[in-house]
Amino acid sequence: MTARVTIQTQDFDVAAEIAALRAQDKRVGAVCSFIGTVRDRNDGLSVSAMELEHYPGMTEQSIEQMIDEAFRRFDIYGARVIHRVGPLQPLDQIVLVVVTSAHRGESFQACEFLMDYLKTQAPFWKKEQTPEGARWVDARVSDDAALARWGITARNA
């Protein structure tokens, strides 16, 4: 069985990850995935590179709890989250979320729920390299609207 959460420095193979999750359950009729990539701009500044840090153990546990919540909220069969850390360049893949279910609606909703959680609550720290030098950026971008639509506030997430 494939792990539900992996934090890694190396790139990931999207097709292989989707195939592995689908192979676990013949009931799967829908697969929804999201791939996040590193941009070359943020807050109006050029970004030549970035580095993501995390607290091993805490990050995985936090994402596992979020996947548990997705299973409670949606009729899904499987979920997989891969998040990269370490030095990254523009165009690099940074995050993969894959969700399986019987029908597309549940997969779409659960995938979006998981991404909103990752973007707003997952414990990552990001340093960007810009023409003005290195700067730390809050990787847990607070997007109250994204959380509110799931009935979550930043305090109880």
Amino acid letter, residue 24: Q
Distance CA 86, CA 9 (A): 6
pTM exceeds 0.85 = yes
Cα 27 from Cα 6, distance rounded (Å)? 24
- Domains defined for the chain, CATH in brackets: 5-148 (3.90.1170.40)
Helix (H) or strand (E) holding 36: strand 30-37
For tokens 């069985």, the residue is: 1
Q: What is the pLDDT along the chain (157 residues), one digit of tens a residue?
A: 578 999 999 999 999 999 999 997 899 999 999 999 999 888 777 888 999 999 999 999 999 999 999 999 999 999 999 999 999 999 999 999 999 999 999 999 999 999 998 988 888 988 888 888 888 887 566 666 677 777 877 655 4
